[in-house]
Amino acid sequence: MKKSIITAALSSVLALGISAEALAVEWNVSVWGKRRAFTENCVRIRPVGGLGNQLFTFAAGREVARRNNATLVIDDTWFATQATRQYELDSFHTGAHVESGSWQPSLQDRFPSGVRLLDKFAGKRLQMGATYGEPNFFYHPEVLTLRTPVSLSGFFQSFKYFLDSQHEVRNALRSLTNPSLWFLQQAERLKDLGEWVALHVRRGDYLEPSTEDFHGLAGSTYYGRALSHLKKSLGKLPIVLFSDDLSEAERLLDLSAHYDVHVMHSPPESRAIESINLMSLSTASVLANSSFSWWGAWLGDDPDRPVLCPRPWFQARNLDYRDLLLPHWISLGID
């Protein structure tokens, strides 16, 4: 009884915020300048970050929309403010409607302390107002029970959100909107190579001190362990090297004396989704601690395909990524 009374009281405290949000989202102005009621049957997502992060948001939003027989709406506003990131979901057929400016912040974003307290007493994340704010990093099954209209705020980095539609998500990611000639040629070349290992090295912004502190770096020790593991089980297969810093990756690994190495130089006209598709063609995958790596492995995944990944996935110790990696993937220590 006491718990229900406190929960009700906290709900009342947040009622004003909920009402304000309802007023804010009752009407939106679309990119065509027309007023549109927010009562439509849709799921809105607002992807941020690189392609790997965008894909997780897309896949989770797509599944919520599918369960509601609703339209998936992608708000691409965030990318207008970014110098180093671009909207990548237009590189394949999402089946979604894309617009700008309709996003509404979640109550978690606006009243984080009050929402956390209310969730604690309720024992779960509550859907309040029009936007569901992801409470933390691991899988939350209530996301799949949300009803429209709703917006999703968060990263949703777990395969469990789209487990029931994994085949459809894979088909979407393979349906490229405008594949480059380079991609088509490389896909044929890799098929002719026979069995091979996709090895991904992530550097780029991971070398920035704050980013490295958060993510950590998978170094030569980890990659050596991973290749030794695969050599024992599969033999000495050719390695195809993918990286956002190929010169650093080649210096770090120094593989050419011991393996048949093929370096994947993607040209400017190639979209990032093409490299993910190429990685998915491999016999086995050695991942960096990167969502880009994750999708290259997941897209071509089956239980018999070896996938090796670094442990920990995040250097930051406050992130619980228990639901990120697939159960049959093999994790190896970075150090």
Interval 64-80: pLDDT, tens: 999 999 999 999 999 99
Same domain, 287 and 250: yes
Specify if 173 maps to a domain: no
DSSP-derived letter for residue 279 is H
Same domain, 124 and 184: no
CB 313 within 8 A of CB 321: yes
Q: Coil, helix or strand for 98?
A: strand
Total domains, the chain: 2
State how far Cα 41 lies from the chain centre: 24
Same domain, 143 and 245: no
pLDDT the model gives residue 213: 59
State how far Cα 158 lies from the chain centre: 8
Torsion, Cα 315 321 326 332, to 10 degrees, reads 30
pLDDT the model gives residue 248: 86
Write out residues in the chain with pLDDT < 70, as ranges. 1-39, 102-129, 206-207, 209-215
pLDDT the model gives residue 110: 56
Question: Containing domain of residue 284, as a range?
Answer: 180-333
H-assigned helices in 216-330: 220-234, 246-253, 272-279, 291-299
Among candidate residues 165, 200, 220, the one where a domain is terminated? 165
pLDDT the model gives residue 160: 98
Same domain, 111 and 208: no
